[in-house]
Amino acid sequence: MDIITRIAEEMSLAPDSARKTAALLDDGNTIPFIARYRKEVTGGIDDQVLRKFSDRLTSLREMEQKRADILRLIGEQGALSPEIEKAIAAAETSAALDDIYRPFRPKRKTRASVAKEKGLEPLCDAIFLPGASEKALLSLAASLISTENAVPDEQAAVSGALDILAERMSDTAALRGRLRGLLKNTGVLVSRQKKKEDSVYAPYYKYTEAIRRVAGHRILALNRGEAEGFLTVSIETDDTLMLTHMTQAFPAAQGFATELVRTAAADSFKRLLLPSLTTEIRAELTERAEEEAMAVFAQNLRDLLMTPPMRGHTVLALDPAFRTGCKLAVIDVTGKPLYTGVIYPTPPQNKTEESAAALAQLAARFGVDIIAIGNGTASRETEKFVATAVREKAIAARWYMVNEAGASVYSASELAASEFPDLDLTRRSAISIGRRLQDPLAELVKIDPQSIGVGQYQHDMNPKRLSHTLDGVVESCVNEVGVDLNTASPSLLEHIAGISTPIARNIVAYRETAGRFTARAELAKVPRLGPKTFEQCAGFLRIDGGSEPLDATRIHPESYAAARAVLSHGKPYDLSSLSAQLNIGIPTLADIVAALENPGFDPRAELSQPEIREDVMEITDLREGMVLTGVVRNVSAFGAFVDIGVHQDGLVHVSELADRFVSNPIDVVRIGQTVRVRVLSVDAGKKRISLSMKRV
C-alpha cells in the first residue's frame, strides 16, 4: 500500500482527492489557500483536517526515507538477507524499524562484544545444539580457556557466552516487539518521593497506575516532577511473564542448557531490555501526552484568537495596579493612541473621587463608549471602581474585563518599542489591553503563543512540534477572518497565506510611500510579491471602498468573472444548473454566492459581559456554596480554570463541568466563555479554589 492510499484510508478520504491534495501541497500551495479555494480537489475538507493530512504525509515520507536508509546501511555491511528485507518492508512503525536495525547498529564496547573478541561465540551457539548436555558444554568451555584472552576458567567462558546470548535476546526484533506490547498492556507506572519535602507533586509520592490507563496530563506532571528532582519514576511488570516469553523465543535442550538460557534471559531483561524498553515506552507516552496537550493548547489558542472584536468603538483601557496606579490609554476606532496617563483609584493612594473625575473627563473629551480593564493585579478593585464611577458620573460606557496574559511580554518587545518609542512599558501595556478588546486577533498575533497563558506544560513539550502546531492555529485564524490590506500591521500580514515576514514589511512600506491600496491587483507592484504569492494571499486581503467592489469580499480574483456572472444571473440560484453553465465547481460557486450575500462576514461571535459581585474581591471572601459568574481563562485535559475576580482562578474539575459524564472539557467549555459556578471548597493558604458547574 502506498503512502497516499494509506493516508486516505486512515482519514476516510477519497483516494483520488488525497492524491490531488498531496500534489497541491507538493506544488507549494498553502493550507489556507487549498482549504478555501480548492474544495473541488480536496472534497471540501477544512484546514484543520488538511494540516493533519500534511503532517501525516510528512511523517510517512520520513518513515519511507528511514526504511531506505536502513536497507542501505545493512546492505553496506553485506548482511541484507531476503528475510531482513521482507521484515523491513513490512515494518509499520519507526520502533519496528529500529528493532530490525538494532543488531546492525554500530555499538560502543559492551560485555557481549568483549566476549566475542575472546572467541566465546561458539559456546553461545552450542547452547542451542541438539543434545547440548552439561558435560558437552563445559568441555567446550574448557577448550576456550585462554590466558591470552583473559578466560581463566570454564565459569568465565560460560559467563561470557551468556553475555553474548543476553545481548542477542535484546537485539531480536520479534522478541522486543512482543515484550514492548506486554509492557504496555500489563506494566504499571510507578512514582515515588525523592526529595523529603512538600511540593505540588505530593499526589505522586506514592503513585501506581496501569500504563494502558494513565492520562496524558499525569505523564507530563510525572516528567516534570522527575526533572525537578522530586520524583523517581519507573515501570514495573511481571518478570516471570516476561522471562517465559524470552525462554520460549530461545528454546534449548532440557536441563543445563535451559538453565543457561533462563540465566541469560533474566540478565538480558533486567540489564538491557527493561531499561531500553522503559525509555522507549515513556518516550511514546510522553509523545502521546504532548499531542493531547498540544491539541488542547491549540483549541484554547484558537478560541482566544477568535474572541469577538469590538470594532467601531473608542476605548479607554486600564492596566490595573496598586502602589504605582492604574495606567490608562484612550485609543480611537483604528487603535491609534489618543492619550495616556495614570490614575490612583486603588490602595494605598485611594484617590477614587479624583480618578473618577478623570475617567469622566476623558470619556467626554474623546467620546469613549467602551472601557477595557486588564484582569491582572488589582483588577477586581479597579472593576469595582469603574462600575461605581460609571454609575455616579453617568459615563455612557460599558466595561469589559480583558485577559492581559502576555501583555507585559509584548510591551517589552522590540515591536512595541518600535510602535511606541516614547512610551514606557506600562503605558504600552494599557494600549495593548485596549486593542485586544477592539480586535483580539490583530493584537494577539504580536505575542508568542506560548506567552499567552492558555496551555498546560508547554515548557515541557518538544519546542519544534509545539511551535509548528501553534503557528498553524494562528495562520488558520488569521486567514479565516481575513485582514484589511490598508490597515493590517506587518505582524498580522505575515500570517496571511503565502506572505513571508519580508513581504509583509514590503507591503507596509509600499502602503506608506504610494498610499492606500485601491485594488488587490496593486499587490503586483510590491517588491518580491510574485504571481504565486499573489495567488495564495489575494483572497484573504480585503480592500474596502476600492476600485473593485469584489476586493472587499472573500472571493478570489481568479473567480471574479464567475462572481459577475452570478450577479447578472439574478436570484434565486440553482447551484447545480448554474455550476454547469459557468463551468465551475458547486463548492466554489456556493462560496461565491455566500460572499456576495454577506460580503462583510466575520466568523467571530458577539462578546458577552459577565456580572460583577462587589462583595467578592479576595479569595478570603469566598464561601462554600456561593454562586458566581466567571470567565473561562484556560481549559486543560482535567478541567477548566475560571476567573471569578479574586486574583486566583478556580478549577472546575472535569467531573464537575456538567450533570453528565464529560470525557473532554473542550466539549463543554471554551476560553472566553462566561459561566456560572458554585464554590465547592477554598484553601486560601495554597490558593486553591474548587468550583462546580453542576446544577448552577
- Pairing mode, strands 370-374 and 483-484: unpaired
Mean pLDDT of 420-430: 90
- Pairing mode, strands 541-542 and 483-484: parallel
**Residue 456 in this model has a pLDDT that exceeds 90:** no
Task: Give residue 614's pLDDT.
Answer: 58
Retrieve residue 414's grid coordinates: 522590540
End-to-end CA distance of the chain: 53
Report CA-CA distances (Å) from 499 to 152, 394, 537, 585, 604.
Answer: 73, 47, 7, 27, 23
In which residue are the cell numbers 482566544 written?
304
DSSP 552: G
Rounded distance, CA 2 to CA 300, Å? 35
- Quickly name the fold that domain 315-438 has: Nucleotidyltransferase; domain 5 (3.30.420)
**Residue 605 in this model has a pLDDT that exceeds 90:** no
Task: Give residue 467's pLDDT.
Answer: 92
Sheet holding 370-374, edge to edge: 337-343, 326-331, 315-319, 370-374, 398-402
The answer to whether 331 touches 503, Cβ cutoff 8 Å, is: no
Rounded distance, CA 406 to CA 502, Å? 25
Rounded distance, CA 525 to CA 399, Å? 43
Question: What percentage of the chain has pLDDT greater than the value 90?
Answer: 81
Q: Which architecture characterizes domain 619-692 according to CATH? A: Beta Barrel (2.40)
CA 383 to chain centre: 33
**Between 615 and 527, residue with greater pLDDT:** 527
- Give 613's pLDDT tier (boundaries 50, 70, 90): low
Comparing C-alpha atoms, which of 605, 632, 290 is closest to residue 454? 632
DSSP 131: T
**Residue 43 in this model has a pLDDT that exceeds 80:** yes
- Give 612's pLDDT tier (boundaries 50, 70, 90): low
The answer to whether 235 touches 184, Cβ cutoff 8 Å, is: no
In which residue are the cell numbers 510517512 written?
60
Rounded distance, CA 510 to CA 524, Å? 11
Retrieve residue 441's grid coordinates: 486577533
DSSP string, 330-373: EE-TTS-EEEEEEE--STTT--HHHHHHHHHHHHHHHT--EEEE
In which residue are the cell numbers 474581591 written?
617
Rounded distance, CA 237 to CA 181, Å? 12
Task: Give residue 606's pLDDT.
Answer: 62
Q: Angle of helix 47-76 relative to helix 3-10, nearest 10 degrees?
A: 140
Q: For 73-82, 446-455, 630-639, which range has the lowest pLDDT when averaged over its residues? A: 446-455
- Give 405's pLDDT tier (boundaries 50, 70, 90): confident
DSSP 63: H
Mean pLDDT of 501-505: 97
Report CA-CA distances (Å) from 665 to 300, 593, 653, 677.
Answer: 11, 36, 9, 15
**pLDDT tens track for 49-76:** 999 999 999 999 999 999 999 999 999 9
- Give 289's pLDDT tier (boundaries 50, 70, 90): very high
Helices within 376-424 (DSSP H only): 379-392, 407-411, 414-419
Rounded distance, CA 462 to CA 458, Å? 8
The answer to whether 249 touches 174, Cβ cutoff 8 Å, is: yes
Rounded distance, CA 39 to CA 194, Å? 56
- Quickly name the fold that domain 3-104 has: Arc Repressor Mutant, subunit A (1.10.10)
**pLDDT tens track for 677-688:** 999 999 998 889
Task: Give residue 1's pLDDT.
Answer: 74
Task: Give residue 9's pLDDT.
Answer: 96
In which residue are the cell numbers 468573472 written?
561
Residues near 385 by beta carbon (within 8 Å), at least 6 away in sequence: 345, 346, 352, 355, 356
- Give 610's pLDDT tier (boundaries 50, 70, 90): low
- Give 348's pLDDT tier (boundaries 50, 70, 90): very high
**Residue 489 in this model has a pLDDT that exceeds 90:** yes
User: Per-domain residue ranges for the chain?
Assistant: 3-104, 111-297, 315-438, 483-597, 619-692
DSSP string, 476-526: HHHHHH-EETTT--HHHHTTSTT--HHHHHHHHHHHHHH-S-S-GGGGGGS
Mean pLDDT value across the chain = 93
Query: Model pTM?
Result: 0.89
Please, which residues bridge with residue 688 across strands? 683
Rounded distance, CA 462 to CA 476, Å? 21
**pLDDT tens track for 144-179:** 998 888 999 999 999 999 999 999 999 999 999 999
DSSP string, 272-310: IIHHHHHHHHHHHHHHHHHHHHHHHHHHHHHHHHTPPP-
Mean pLDDT of 35-49: 95
- Quickly name the fold that domain 111-297 has: Tex N-terminal region-like (1.10.3500)
Domain 483-597 has CATH 1.20.120.1810: no
Rounded distance, CA 121 to CA 9, Å? 47
Cβ-count burial 599-637 (b if 16+ within 10 Å, e if not): eeeeebeeeeebeebeebeebeebeeebebbbbbbbbbb
Task: Give residue 149's pLDDT.
Answer: 85
Question: What percentage of the chain has pLDDT greater than the value 70?
Answer: 98
Retrieve residue 57's grid coordinates: 504525509
CA gyration radius for the chain? 33
**pLDDT tens track for 529-563:** 999 999 999 999 999 999 999 999 999 999 999 99
Residues near 133 by beta carbon (within 8 Å), at least 6 away in sequence: 253, 255, 256, 257
